[in-house]
Chains A and B, each alone.
Chain A
Amino acid sequence: MRENTMEISAFDVRAVRAQFPILQRKVNGQNLVYLDNAATVQKPQMVIDALTHYYSHYNANIHRGVHSLAQEATQAYEEARIKIQEHICAAHSHEIIFTMGTTDAINLVMQTWGRSQLSFGDTVLISALEHHSNLVPWHLLKEEKGINIEIIPIHPDGSLDMEAYADLLKKNVKLVCVNHVSNALGSINPIKEMVHMAHEVGAICMIDGAQALPHSKVDVQDLDADFYAFSGHKVYGPTGIGVLYGKEKLLNEMPPWRGGGEMIAAVEYQSSTYNTLPHKFEAGTPNIAGGIALGSAIDFVRSIGVEHIEEHEAQLLESLTQKTAHIDGLKIYGTAEKKAGVFSFLVDGTHPYDVGTLLDQMGVAVRTGHHCAEPLMNHFGIPGTIRASFGCYNTNEEVDVFVHSLERALKMLR
Protein backbone atom coordinates (compact mmCIF):
# COMPACT_ATOMS: atom_id res chain seq x y z
CA MET A 1 0.00 0.00 0.00
CA ARG A 2 2.77 2.35 1.05
CA GLU A 3 4.73 1.53 -2.07
CA ASN A 4 1.69 2.20 -4.20
CA THR A 5 1.21 5.66 -2.69
CA MET A 6 4.80 6.51 -3.46
CA GLU A 7 4.37 5.42 -7.05
CA ILE A 8 1.34 7.63 -7.48
CA SER A 9 3.12 10.66 -6.10
CA ALA A 10 5.88 9.85 -8.59
CA PHE A 11 3.47 10.50 -11.48
CA ASP A 12 4.89 13.65 -12.94
CA VAL A 13 2.64 15.19 -15.54
CA ARG A 14 5.42 17.55 -16.71
CA ALA A 15 7.64 14.58 -17.49
CA VAL A 16 4.75 12.90 -19.31
CA ARG A 17 4.02 16.02 -21.36
CA ALA A 18 7.67 16.32 -22.35
CA GLN A 19 7.27 13.08 -24.30
CA PHE A 20 4.61 14.57 -26.61
CA PRO A 21 6.16 16.88 -29.22
CA ILE A 22 2.79 18.14 -30.51
CA LEU A 23 1.96 19.69 -27.14
CA GLN A 24 4.59 22.34 -27.84
CA ARG A 25 2.71 23.82 -30.76
CA LYS A 26 0.51 26.86 -30.81
CA VAL A 27 -2.99 27.10 -32.26
CA ASN A 28 -4.34 30.47 -33.34
CA GLY A 29 -1.38 32.02 -31.53
CA GLN A 30 -2.24 30.34 -28.22
CA ASN A 31 -0.73 27.37 -26.40
CA LEU A 32 -2.60 24.27 -27.49
CA VAL A 33 -4.93 22.90 -24.84
CA TYR A 34 -5.90 19.55 -26.28
CA LEU A 35 -9.12 18.24 -24.77
CA ASP A 36 -10.34 16.07 -27.64
CA ASN A 37 -8.74 12.90 -26.36
CA ALA A 38 -11.84 10.76 -26.71
CA ALA A 39 -11.60 11.34 -30.47
CA THR A 40 -7.91 10.56 -30.64
CA VAL A 41 -4.97 11.07 -28.30
CA GLN A 42 -1.61 12.60 -29.20
CA LYS A 43 1.42 10.38 -29.66
CA PRO A 44 4.50 10.14 -27.45
CA GLN A 45 7.94 10.33 -29.07
CA MET A 46 8.57 6.61 -28.52
CA VAL A 47 5.58 5.70 -30.69
CA ILE A 48 6.62 8.13 -33.42
CA ASP A 49 10.15 6.70 -33.18
CA ALA A 50 8.87 3.13 -33.47
CA LEU A 51 7.21 4.04 -36.79
CA THR A 52 10.26 5.77 -38.25
CA HIS A 53 12.65 3.16 -36.86
CA TYR A 54 10.71 0.37 -38.57
CA TYR A 55 10.75 2.15 -41.93
CA SER A 56 14.37 3.28 -41.52
CA HIS A 57 15.88 0.02 -40.30
CA TYR A 58 13.91 -3.17 -40.87
CA ASN A 59 11.01 -2.59 -43.24
CA ALA A 60 10.11 -5.97 -44.76
CA ASN A 61 7.05 -8.08 -45.33
CA ILE A 62 6.39 -10.39 -42.43
CA HIS A 63 5.86 -14.09 -41.76
CA ARG A 64 7.21 -15.69 -44.94
CA GLY A 65 10.62 -14.20 -45.61
CA VAL A 66 13.83 -16.05 -44.79
CA HIS A 67 16.00 -12.97 -44.90
CA SER A 68 17.07 -11.05 -41.80
CA LEU A 69 14.90 -7.99 -42.27
CA ALA A 70 11.78 -10.13 -42.67
CA GLN A 71 12.64 -12.02 -39.52
CA GLU A 72 13.25 -8.84 -37.53
CA ALA A 73 9.99 -7.33 -38.73
CA THR A 74 8.04 -10.53 -38.01
CA GLN A 75 9.54 -10.74 -34.56
CA ALA A 76 8.72 -7.13 -33.73
CA TYR A 77 5.14 -7.52 -35.02
CA GLU A 78 4.55 -10.72 -33.07
CA GLU A 79 6.15 -9.23 -29.96
CA ALA A 80 3.63 -6.40 -30.18
CA ARG A 81 0.85 -8.98 -30.24
CA ILE A 82 2.23 -10.53 -27.06
CA LYS A 83 2.49 -7.12 -25.36
CA ILE A 84 -1.17 -6.53 -26.13
CA GLN A 85 -2.10 -10.00 -24.93
CA GLU A 86 -0.33 -9.34 -21.63
CA HIS A 87 -1.79 -5.87 -21.30
CA ILE A 88 -5.40 -7.01 -21.60
CA CYS A 89 -4.72 -10.34 -19.86
CA ALA A 90 -5.81 -12.58 -22.72
CA ALA A 91 -5.11 -16.30 -22.34
CA HIS A 92 -3.33 -16.64 -25.70
CA SER A 93 -1.55 -14.29 -28.08
CA HIS A 94 -3.46 -15.84 -31.01
CA GLU A 95 -6.65 -14.43 -29.51
CA ILE A 96 -5.33 -10.98 -30.46
CA ILE A 97 -6.41 -10.20 -34.03
CA PHE A 98 -4.96 -7.07 -35.58
CA THR A 99 -7.59 -4.96 -37.32
CA MET A 100 -7.74 -1.42 -38.68
CA GLY A 101 -9.45 -0.23 -35.52
CA THR A 102 -12.54 -0.75 -33.39
CA THR A 103 -14.95 -0.25 -36.28
CA ASP A 104 -13.12 -2.84 -38.33
CA ALA A 105 -13.07 -5.24 -35.37
CA ILE A 106 -16.82 -4.98 -34.85
CA ASN A 107 -17.43 -5.43 -38.57
CA LEU A 108 -15.26 -8.56 -38.44
CA VAL A 109 -17.47 -9.99 -35.71
CA MET A 110 -20.61 -9.07 -37.65
CA GLN A 111 -19.32 -10.52 -40.93
CA THR A 112 -18.07 -13.79 -39.49
CA TRP A 113 -19.69 -14.69 -36.18
CA GLY A 114 -22.83 -12.69 -36.96
CA ARG A 115 -23.43 -13.97 -40.48
CA SER A 116 -22.71 -17.58 -39.53
CA GLN A 117 -24.49 -17.72 -36.17
CA LEU A 118 -27.43 -15.34 -36.38
CA SER A 119 -30.59 -15.93 -38.31
CA PHE A 120 -34.05 -14.47 -38.79
CA GLY A 121 -35.70 -13.53 -35.50
CA ASP A 122 -32.57 -13.78 -33.33
CA THR A 123 -32.19 -10.82 -31.04
CA VAL A 124 -29.13 -8.62 -30.77
CA LEU A 125 -29.25 -6.38 -27.69
CA ILE A 126 -27.48 -3.05 -28.15
CA SER A 127 -27.09 -0.39 -25.51
CA ALA A 128 -28.61 3.06 -26.04
CA LEU A 129 -25.12 4.50 -25.52
CA GLU A 130 -23.49 2.93 -28.55
CA HIS A 131 -21.29 4.69 -31.04
CA HIS A 132 -22.52 4.30 -34.63
CA SER A 133 -19.75 1.75 -35.12
CA ASN A 134 -21.46 -0.71 -32.77
CA LEU A 135 -24.88 -0.02 -34.24
CA VAL A 136 -24.64 0.29 -38.01
CA PRO A 137 -22.91 -3.10 -38.60
CA TRP A 138 -25.89 -4.73 -36.89
CA HIS A 139 -28.28 -2.68 -39.04
CA LEU A 140 -26.56 -4.22 -42.07
CA LEU A 141 -27.17 -7.69 -40.66
CA LYS A 142 -30.76 -6.80 -39.86
CA GLU A 143 -31.29 -5.85 -43.51
CA GLU A 144 -29.62 -9.04 -44.70
CA LYS A 145 -31.05 -11.60 -42.30
CA GLY A 146 -33.95 -10.01 -40.49
CA ILE A 147 -32.39 -10.18 -37.05
CA ASN A 148 -34.18 -8.32 -34.31
CA ILE A 149 -32.45 -5.37 -32.65
CA GLU A 150 -33.46 -4.32 -29.14
CA ILE A 151 -32.05 -1.35 -27.27
CA ILE A 152 -30.99 -1.42 -23.61
CA PRO A 153 -32.34 1.88 -22.24
CA ILE A 154 -30.49 4.31 -19.97
CA HIS A 155 -31.38 6.25 -16.84
CA PRO A 156 -31.36 10.08 -17.06
CA ASP A 157 -27.82 10.11 -15.59
CA GLY A 158 -26.54 8.08 -18.55
CA SER A 159 -26.13 4.79 -16.71
CA LEU A 160 -27.68 1.66 -18.21
CA ASP A 161 -31.02 0.48 -16.88
CA MET A 162 -29.97 -2.92 -15.59
CA GLU A 163 -33.52 -4.00 -14.72
CA ALA A 164 -34.62 -3.37 -18.27
CA TYR A 165 -31.52 -5.25 -19.43
CA ALA A 166 -32.48 -8.27 -17.34
CA ASP A 167 -35.98 -8.20 -18.88
CA LEU A 168 -34.69 -7.82 -22.42
CA LEU A 169 -32.40 -10.82 -21.98
CA LYS A 170 -35.51 -13.01 -21.94
CA LYS A 171 -36.14 -12.29 -25.65
CA ASN A 172 -34.17 -15.00 -27.47
CA VAL A 173 -30.99 -12.93 -27.20
CA LYS A 174 -27.92 -14.29 -29.00
CA LEU A 175 -25.62 -11.31 -28.75
CA VAL A 176 -25.19 -8.29 -26.47
CA CYS A 177 -23.27 -5.28 -27.82
CA VAL A 178 -22.20 -2.67 -25.35
CA ASN A 179 -19.38 -0.22 -24.89
CA HIS A 180 -17.21 -0.43 -21.80
CA VAL A 181 -17.15 3.38 -21.52
CA SER A 182 -19.54 5.68 -23.40
CA ASN A 183 -17.71 7.98 -25.80
CA ALA A 184 -20.45 10.60 -25.63
CA LEU A 185 -21.15 10.68 -21.87
CA GLY A 186 -18.20 8.93 -20.23
CA SER A 187 -20.32 6.53 -18.19
CA ILE A 188 -18.55 3.29 -17.27
CA ASN A 189 -20.83 0.34 -17.84
CA PRO A 190 -20.94 -2.67 -15.48
CA ILE A 191 -19.48 -4.95 -18.12
CA LYS A 192 -18.55 -7.86 -15.88
CA GLU A 193 -22.09 -8.12 -14.54
CA MET A 194 -23.59 -7.67 -18.00
CA VAL A 195 -21.42 -10.41 -19.50
CA HIS A 196 -22.35 -12.74 -16.67
CA MET A 197 -26.07 -12.06 -17.17
CA ALA A 198 -25.75 -12.57 -20.94
CA HIS A 199 -23.96 -15.89 -20.46
CA GLU A 200 -26.71 -17.10 -18.17
CA VAL A 201 -29.16 -16.95 -21.08
CA GLY A 202 -26.62 -18.41 -23.51
CA ALA A 203 -25.84 -15.13 -25.26
CA ILE A 204 -22.37 -13.84 -26.01
CA CYS A 205 -21.02 -10.31 -25.51
CA MET A 206 -19.24 -7.95 -27.88
CA ILE A 207 -17.57 -5.17 -25.90
CA ASP A 208 -16.48 -1.94 -27.57
CA GLY A 209 -13.52 -1.00 -25.41
CA ALA A 210 -12.27 1.95 -27.48
CA GLN A 211 -12.88 4.44 -24.66
CA ALA A 212 -11.96 2.13 -21.79
CA LEU A 213 -8.50 0.89 -22.65
CA PRO A 214 -6.81 4.32 -22.64
CA HIS A 215 -8.13 5.12 -19.16
CA SER A 216 -8.38 1.95 -17.13
CA LYS A 217 -7.09 -1.53 -16.51
CA VAL A 218 -8.82 -4.09 -18.71
CA ASP A 219 -8.70 -7.81 -17.98
CA VAL A 220 -10.67 -9.64 -20.63
CA GLN A 221 -10.55 -12.93 -18.74
CA ASP A 222 -11.81 -11.36 -15.55
CA LEU A 223 -14.59 -9.67 -17.53
CA ASP A 224 -15.19 -12.98 -19.30
CA ALA A 225 -15.80 -10.95 -22.49
CA ASP A 226 -16.33 -12.99 -25.63
CA PHE A 227 -15.15 -10.21 -27.93
CA TYR A 228 -13.38 -7.03 -26.92
CA ALA A 229 -12.44 -4.39 -29.51
CA PHE A 230 -10.25 -1.32 -29.27
CA SER A 231 -8.37 1.19 -31.43
CA GLY A 232 -4.66 1.88 -31.36
CA HIS A 233 -4.97 5.61 -31.88
CA LYS A 234 -7.00 6.17 -28.71
CA VAL A 235 -4.38 4.43 -26.59
CA TYR A 236 -1.37 6.53 -27.74
CA GLY A 237 -0.68 4.37 -30.82
CA PRO A 238 -1.02 5.23 -34.52
CA THR A 239 -4.22 5.38 -36.56
CA GLY A 240 -5.19 2.50 -38.81
CA ILE A 241 -4.42 -0.23 -36.30
CA GLY A 242 -6.64 -1.81 -33.70
CA VAL A 243 -7.44 -5.08 -32.05
CA LEU A 244 -10.17 -7.61 -31.83
CA TYR A 245 -9.77 -9.91 -28.87
CA GLY A 246 -11.91 -13.01 -29.13
CA LYS A 247 -12.09 -16.20 -27.12
CA GLU A 248 -10.12 -18.92 -28.86
CA LYS A 249 -13.10 -21.26 -29.14
CA LEU A 250 -15.30 -18.64 -30.81
CA LEU A 251 -12.57 -17.47 -33.17
CA ASN A 252 -11.87 -21.05 -34.23
CA GLU A 253 -15.53 -21.63 -35.01
CA MET A 254 -15.84 -18.47 -37.09
CA PRO A 255 -15.32 -18.58 -40.85
CA PRO A 256 -12.74 -16.20 -42.32
CA TRP A 257 -13.97 -12.91 -43.71
CA ARG A 258 -11.36 -11.45 -46.01
CA GLY A 259 -9.54 -13.81 -48.30
CA GLY A 260 -5.98 -13.41 -49.54
CA GLY A 261 -2.38 -14.05 -48.65
CA GLU A 262 -1.32 -14.89 -45.07
CA MET A 263 -4.74 -16.26 -44.10
CA ILE A 264 -4.40 -19.57 -45.95
CA ALA A 265 -2.81 -22.94 -45.20
CA ALA A 266 -2.97 -24.24 -48.77
CA VAL A 267 -4.50 -22.93 -51.98
CA GLU A 268 -5.56 -24.76 -55.12
CA TYR A 269 -7.31 -23.23 -58.08
CA GLN A 270 -10.75 -24.35 -56.91
CA SER A 271 -10.46 -24.18 -53.14
CA SER A 272 -8.37 -23.21 -50.12
CA THR A 273 -7.80 -24.34 -46.60
CA TYR A 274 -7.33 -21.66 -44.02
CA ASN A 275 -4.55 -20.76 -41.67
CA THR A 276 -4.79 -21.05 -37.91
CA LEU A 277 -5.41 -18.17 -35.51
CA PRO A 278 -4.66 -15.32 -35.56
CA HIS A 279 -3.64 -15.35 -39.25
CA LYS A 280 -7.01 -16.68 -40.43
CA PHE A 281 -8.42 -13.18 -39.89
CA GLU A 282 -5.42 -11.21 -41.13
CA ALA A 283 -5.49 -11.48 -44.92
CA GLY A 284 -2.91 -9.58 -46.93
CA THR A 285 0.06 -7.54 -45.80
CA PRO A 286 -1.03 -6.02 -42.51
CA ASN A 287 -0.26 -2.62 -41.04
CA ILE A 288 3.14 -3.82 -39.85
CA ALA A 289 4.49 -0.45 -38.70
CA GLY A 290 1.17 0.29 -36.99
CA GLY A 291 1.18 -3.01 -35.11
CA ILE A 292 4.76 -2.53 -33.93
CA ALA A 293 4.08 1.07 -32.88
CA LEU A 294 0.95 -0.05 -31.03
CA GLY A 295 3.23 -2.34 -29.07
CA SER A 296 5.32 0.74 -28.19
CA ALA A 297 2.17 2.58 -27.17
CA ILE A 298 1.36 -0.24 -24.77
CA ASP A 299 4.94 0.06 -23.43
CA PHE A 300 4.32 3.77 -22.93
CA VAL A 301 1.06 3.23 -21.02
CA ARG A 302 2.69 0.57 -18.87
CA SER A 303 5.69 2.80 -18.18
CA ILE A 304 3.35 5.34 -16.59
CA GLY A 305 1.01 2.77 -15.11
CA VAL A 306 -2.60 2.69 -16.24
CA GLU A 307 -3.77 3.07 -12.64
CA HIS A 308 -1.87 6.37 -12.43
CA ILE A 309 -3.46 7.57 -15.64
CA GLU A 310 -6.88 6.61 -14.30
CA GLU A 311 -6.31 8.44 -11.04
CA HIS A 312 -4.87 11.53 -12.73
CA GLU A 313 -7.74 11.82 -15.19
CA ALA A 314 -10.35 11.23 -12.49
CA GLN A 315 -8.83 14.12 -10.52
CA LEU A 316 -8.94 16.38 -13.62
CA LEU A 317 -12.57 15.45 -14.27
CA GLU A 318 -13.50 16.12 -10.66
CA SER A 319 -11.72 19.47 -10.77
CA LEU A 320 -13.39 20.49 -14.04
CA THR A 321 -16.81 19.47 -12.74
CA GLN A 322 -16.30 21.61 -9.63
CA LYS A 323 -14.86 24.59 -11.46
CA THR A 324 -17.77 24.78 -13.89
CA ALA A 325 -20.47 24.27 -11.25
CA HIS A 326 -21.02 28.04 -10.92
CA ILE A 327 -21.69 28.57 -14.65
CA ASP A 328 -25.29 29.55 -15.06
CA GLY A 329 -27.26 27.25 -17.35
CA LEU A 330 -24.50 24.66 -17.77
CA LYS A 331 -25.92 21.18 -17.95
CA ILE A 332 -23.72 18.09 -17.86
CA TYR A 333 -24.83 15.10 -19.94
CA GLY A 334 -23.72 11.93 -18.26
CA THR A 335 -23.72 12.23 -14.48
CA ALA A 336 -23.43 8.55 -13.67
CA GLU A 337 -21.53 7.77 -10.52
CA LYS A 338 -18.84 5.94 -12.50
CA LYS A 339 -17.36 8.01 -15.28
CA ALA A 340 -14.09 8.11 -17.18
CA GLY A 341 -12.38 11.12 -18.66
CA VAL A 342 -15.34 12.74 -20.48
CA PHE A 343 -17.10 16.02 -19.69
CA SER A 344 -20.05 16.39 -22.05
CA PHE A 345 -22.22 19.48 -21.62
CA LEU A 346 -24.41 22.22 -23.04
CA VAL A 347 -24.99 25.77 -21.88
CA ASP A 348 -28.46 27.34 -22.09
CA GLY A 349 -28.82 29.88 -24.85
CA THR A 350 -25.75 28.75 -26.77
CA HIS A 351 -25.08 26.28 -29.56
CA PRO A 352 -22.20 23.78 -29.30
CA TYR A 353 -20.81 24.87 -32.67
CA ASP A 354 -20.50 28.46 -31.50
CA VAL A 355 -18.87 27.54 -28.22
CA GLY A 356 -16.45 25.12 -29.95
CA THR A 357 -15.53 27.73 -32.57
CA LEU A 358 -14.71 30.37 -29.97
CA LEU A 359 -12.79 27.91 -27.78
CA ASP A 360 -10.69 27.01 -30.83
CA GLN A 361 -9.82 30.68 -31.26
CA MET A 362 -8.39 30.49 -27.75
CA GLY A 363 -6.31 27.39 -28.54
CA VAL A 364 -8.67 24.97 -26.78
CA ALA A 365 -9.55 21.84 -28.79
CA VAL A 366 -12.85 20.21 -27.83
CA ARG A 367 -15.35 18.21 -29.83
CA THR A 368 -18.83 19.43 -30.63
CA GLY A 369 -21.69 17.60 -32.27
CA HIS A 370 -23.37 14.26 -31.86
CA HIS A 371 -20.15 12.27 -31.25
CA CYS A 372 -21.29 9.55 -33.66
CA ALA A 373 -24.07 8.71 -31.22
CA GLU A 374 -27.03 10.31 -32.97
CA PRO A 375 -29.72 8.07 -31.42
CA LEU A 376 -28.39 8.94 -27.96
CA MET A 377 -28.53 12.68 -28.71
CA ASN A 378 -32.08 12.22 -30.03
CA HIS A 379 -32.92 10.44 -26.78
CA PHE A 380 -31.87 13.55 -24.86
CA GLY A 381 -33.63 15.75 -27.45
CA ILE A 382 -30.46 17.71 -28.23
CA PRO A 383 -28.49 18.22 -31.47
CA GLY A 384 -25.23 17.36 -29.73
CA THR A 385 -23.00 18.44 -26.89
CA ILE A 386 -19.65 20.05 -26.26
CA ARG A 387 -17.24 17.41 -25.08
CA ALA A 388 -13.96 17.96 -23.26
CA SER A 389 -12.07 14.71 -22.72
CA PHE A 390 -8.81 14.01 -20.95
CA GLY A 391 -5.57 12.22 -21.66
CA CYS A 392 -2.66 11.41 -19.38
CA TYR A 393 -0.84 14.64 -20.31
CA ASN A 394 -3.54 17.15 -19.40
CA THR A 395 -2.95 19.38 -16.41
CA ASN A 396 -4.85 21.33 -13.80
CA GLU A 397 -3.58 24.53 -15.43
CA GLU A 398 -5.26 23.42 -18.65
CA VAL A 399 -8.49 22.86 -16.76
CA ASP A 400 -8.22 26.49 -15.61
CA VAL A 401 -7.53 27.71 -19.16
CA PHE A 402 -10.54 25.75 -20.40
CA VAL A 403 -12.86 27.18 -17.73
CA HIS A 404 -11.60 30.71 -18.34
CA SER A 405 -11.94 30.34 -22.12
CA LEU A 406 -15.43 28.92 -21.75
CA GLU A 407 -16.47 31.87 -19.61
CA ARG A 408 -15.12 34.26 -22.24
CA ALA A 409 -16.95 32.43 -25.04
CA LEU A 410 -20.21 32.46 -23.12
CA LYS A 411 -19.87 36.16 -22.44
CA MET A 412 -19.62 36.78 -26.18
CA LEU A 413 -22.52 34.51 -27.03
CA ARG A 414 -25.10 35.31 -24.39
Chain B
Amino acid sequence: MESLAERKAEILDEFMMFDDWMQKYEHIIELGKELPLIEEQFKTEDHLIKGCQSRVWLHASEGDQGKVHFTADSDAIITKGLIALMIRYLGDLPAKDVASAEMDFIQEIGLQDHLSPTRSNGLVSMVKQMKLYGMALAAKQL
Protein backbone atom coordinates (compact mmCIF):
# COMPACT_ATOMS: atom_id res chain seq x y z
CA MET B 1 0.00 0.00 0.00
CA GLU B 2 1.19 3.49 -0.80
CA SER B 3 2.18 5.74 2.06
CA LEU B 4 0.75 9.26 2.39
CA ALA B 5 4.10 10.63 1.22
CA GLU B 6 3.89 8.55 -1.94
CA ARG B 7 0.34 9.62 -2.58
CA LYS B 8 1.33 13.23 -2.17
CA ALA B 9 4.30 12.89 -4.53
CA GLU B 10 2.06 11.32 -7.13
CA ILE B 11 -0.48 14.15 -6.96
CA LEU B 12 2.26 16.80 -7.12
CA ASP B 13 3.76 15.10 -10.18
CA GLU B 14 0.42 15.01 -11.86
CA PHE B 15 -0.17 18.73 -11.31
CA MET B 16 3.39 19.65 -12.36
CA MET B 17 2.44 18.76 -15.92
CA PHE B 18 0.06 21.68 -16.30
CA ASP B 19 1.31 24.88 -17.86
CA ASP B 20 -1.65 27.09 -17.09
CA TRP B 21 -4.75 27.40 -14.95
CA MET B 22 -6.99 26.11 -17.71
CA GLN B 23 -5.30 22.74 -17.93
CA LYS B 24 -5.29 22.47 -14.17
CA TYR B 25 -8.98 23.20 -13.88
CA GLU B 26 -9.84 20.97 -16.82
CA HIS B 27 -8.08 18.18 -14.93
CA ILE B 28 -9.98 18.92 -11.71
CA ILE B 29 -13.24 18.92 -13.65
CA GLU B 30 -12.25 15.56 -15.15
CA LEU B 31 -11.49 14.15 -11.68
CA GLY B 32 -14.90 15.39 -10.56
CA LYS B 33 -16.59 13.53 -13.38
CA GLU B 34 -14.71 10.35 -12.50
CA LEU B 35 -15.52 10.42 -8.78
CA PRO B 36 -17.51 7.26 -8.02
CA LEU B 37 -21.08 8.11 -7.13
CA ILE B 38 -22.05 8.11 -3.49
CA GLU B 39 -24.84 5.61 -2.80
CA GLU B 40 -28.20 7.39 -2.95
CA GLN B 41 -29.02 6.21 0.60
CA PHE B 42 -26.17 8.34 1.92
CA LYS B 43 -27.08 11.48 -0.01
CA THR B 44 -29.25 12.69 2.82
CA GLU B 45 -29.51 15.62 5.17
CA ASP B 46 -27.45 13.63 7.76
CA HIS B 47 -24.54 13.40 5.40
CA LEU B 48 -24.81 16.92 4.06
CA ILE B 49 -22.15 19.53 4.76
CA LYS B 50 -23.77 22.81 3.95
CA GLY B 51 -21.60 25.51 2.43
CA CYS B 52 -23.01 28.77 1.20
CA GLN B 53 -21.45 28.22 -2.23
CA SER B 54 -21.67 24.49 -2.83
CA ARG B 55 -22.95 21.48 -0.94
CA VAL B 56 -21.01 18.36 -0.04
CA TRP B 57 -22.25 14.93 1.02
CA LEU B 58 -19.79 12.70 2.83
CA HIS B 59 -20.12 9.14 4.03
CA ALA B 60 -17.40 7.36 5.98
CA SER B 61 -17.31 3.70 6.96
CA GLU B 62 -14.90 1.12 8.31
CA GLY B 63 -13.49 -0.85 5.38
CA ASP B 64 -11.14 -3.82 5.11
CA GLN B 65 -8.55 -4.25 7.87
CA GLY B 66 -9.96 -1.34 9.85
CA LYS B 67 -9.22 1.20 7.16
CA VAL B 68 -11.42 4.21 6.56
CA HIS B 69 -13.51 4.19 3.43
CA PHE B 70 -14.98 7.45 2.12
CA THR B 71 -17.56 8.22 -0.50
CA ALA B 72 -18.69 11.75 -1.26
CA ASP B 73 -20.42 14.00 -3.73
CA SER B 74 -21.05 17.68 -4.41
CA ASP B 75 -23.41 19.71 -6.56
CA ALA B 76 -20.46 21.71 -7.98
CA ILE B 77 -18.05 19.94 -10.30
CA ILE B 78 -14.90 21.77 -9.18
CA THR B 79 -15.72 20.98 -5.56
CA LYS B 80 -16.32 17.40 -6.68
CA GLY B 81 -12.91 17.25 -8.35
CA LEU B 82 -11.27 18.49 -5.18
CA ILE B 83 -13.21 15.88 -3.18
CA ALA B 84 -11.85 13.21 -5.53
CA LEU B 85 -8.34 14.45 -4.70
CA MET B 86 -9.00 14.38 -0.94
CA ILE B 87 -10.38 10.86 -1.13
CA ARG B 88 -7.46 9.72 -3.25
CA TYR B 89 -5.17 11.15 -0.59
CA LEU B 90 -6.98 10.06 2.59
CA GLY B 91 -9.18 7.16 1.48
CA ASP B 92 -8.65 3.54 2.52
CA LEU B 93 -5.86 4.37 4.94
CA PRO B 94 -5.50 3.20 8.55
CA ALA B 95 -7.66 5.42 10.75
CA LYS B 96 -4.72 6.87 12.68
CA ASP B 97 -3.06 7.98 9.41
CA VAL B 98 -6.24 9.76 8.33
CA ALA B 99 -6.43 11.49 11.69
CA SER B 100 -2.86 12.76 11.58
CA ALA B 101 -2.51 13.51 7.85
CA GLU B 102 -1.15 16.92 6.76
CA MET B 103 -3.10 18.49 3.90
CA ASP B 104 -0.27 20.70 2.63
CA PHE B 105 -0.34 19.18 -0.86
CA ILE B 106 -3.36 21.40 -1.63
CA GLN B 107 -1.18 24.45 -1.13
CA GLU B 108 1.60 22.99 -3.22
CA ILE B 109 -0.68 22.50 -6.21
CA GLY B 110 -2.00 26.06 -5.78
CA LEU B 111 -5.57 25.21 -4.81
CA GLN B 112 -5.46 26.39 -1.19
CA ASP B 113 -8.04 29.09 -1.93
CA HIS B 114 -10.65 26.40 -2.26
CA LEU B 115 -9.81 25.19 1.23
CA SER B 116 -10.16 28.59 2.83
CA PRO B 117 -12.98 28.89 5.37
CA THR B 118 -14.12 32.10 3.68
CA ARG B 119 -14.78 30.20 0.48
CA SER B 120 -17.67 28.43 2.16
CA ASN B 121 -17.86 25.59 -0.33
CA GLY B 122 -18.11 22.84 2.28
CA LEU B 123 -14.61 21.51 1.63
CA VAL B 124 -13.02 22.75 4.86
CA SER B 125 -15.75 21.13 6.90
CA MET B 126 -15.47 17.99 4.80
CA VAL B 127 -11.75 17.58 5.52
CA LYS B 128 -12.45 18.23 9.19
CA GLN B 129 -15.17 15.55 9.16
CA MET B 130 -12.88 13.06 7.41
CA LYS B 131 -10.20 13.54 10.02
CA LEU B 132 -12.68 13.42 12.89
CA TYR B 133 -13.97 10.13 11.58
CA GLY B 134 -10.39 8.88 11.37
CA MET B 135 -9.82 9.96 14.96
CA ALA B 136 -13.01 8.33 16.23
CA LEU B 137 -12.30 5.08 14.45
CA ALA B 138 -8.67 5.05 15.63
CA ALA B 139 -9.87 5.51 19.22
CA LYS B 140 -12.32 2.64 18.84
CA GLN B 141 -9.60 0.38 17.45
CA LEU B 142 -7.26 0.89 20.43
Contact = CB atoms under 8 A, between A and B. Distances in A.
Contact of B77 (A28, A361, A370, A413): A413
B34 interface: no
Nearest to B24: A361
Interface string B43-79: 0000000001111000000000000000000011111
A358 B20 CA distance: 13
Given A368-B53, A412-B29, A413-B29, A353 B76 contact: yes
A369 B76 CA distance: 12
Given A28-B21, A412-B22, A353 B53 contact: yes
19 contacts: A28-B21, A351-B54, A351-B77, A352-B53, A352-B76, A353-B54, A353-B78, A354-B76, A354-B78, A356-B53, A358-B25, A358-B78, A361-B21, A361-B22, A370-B52, A383-B75, A384-B53, A412-B25, A413-B29
Q: Output the residue of B52, B76, B120 with the most chain A CB within 10 A.
A: B76
A357 interface: yes
Interface string B112-123: 001000001100
Interface of B: 21-22, 25-26, 29, 52-55, 75-79, 114, 120-121
Task: State which size class the interface on A falls in.
Answer: 10 to 19
Contacts of A351: 54, 75-77
A412 B22 CA distance: 8
Contacts of A370: 52
A358 B24 CA distance: 11
A162 B114 CA distance: 43
B32 to A, nearest CB: 9
Contact of B26 (A357, A383, A412): A412
B86 to A, nearest CB: 16
Given A28-B21, A412-B25, A413-B29, A357 B52 contact: no
Contacts of B78: 353-354, 357-358
Contacts of B120: 369
Contacts of A356: 53
Contact of A354 (B21, B22, B55, B77): B77
A357 B54 CA distance: 12
Given A361-B21, A368-B53, A412-B22, A353 B29 contact: no
Nearest to A360: B113
B35 to A, nearest CB: 14
Q: Output the residue of A356, A384, A413 with the most chain B CB within 10 A.
A: A413
3 shortest interchain CB distances as A-B pairs: A351-B76, A353-B76, A353-B54
B34 to A, nearest CB: 15
A413 B29 CA distance: 7
Contacts of B53: 352-353, 356, 368-369, 384
A178 to B, nearest CB: 25
Interface in A309-366: 350-354, 356-358, 361
Nearest to A362: B21
Contacts of B77: 350-351, 354, 413
Contacts of B121: 353
B135 to A, nearest CB: 29
Given A28-B21, A351-B75, A369-B53, 7 more contacts: A352-B76, A353-B53, A354-B76, A369-B120, A370-B52, A383-B75, A412-B29
Nearest to B77: A354
A413 B28 CA distance: 11
A369 B51 CA distance: 10
Contact of B25 (A350, A353, A361, A384): A361
Contacts of A413: 29, 77
Given A369-B53, A370-B52, A353 B79 contact: yes
Q: Output the residue of A353, A356, A383 with the most chain B CB within 10 A.
A: A353
A412 B25 CA distance: 8
Contacts of B75: 351, 383
A124 B55 CA distance: 33
Q: Output the residue of B21, B55, B114, B120 with the most chain A CB within 10 A.
A: B21
Interface string A395-408: 00000000000000
Contacts of B55: 383
A384 B54 CA distance: 9
Nearest to A372: B52
A383 B22 CA distance: 26
Contacts of A28: 21
Q: Output the residue of B26, B78, B79, B120 with the most chain A CB within 10 A.
A: B78
B94 to A, nearest CB: 33
Nearest to A30: B21
Nearest to B26: A412
Nearest to A370: B52
Contacts of B26: 412
A353 B52 CA distance: 10
A412 B29 CA distance: 8
Contacts of B29: 354, 412-413
A41 to B, nearest CB: 20
Contacts of A353: 53-54, 76, 78-79, 121
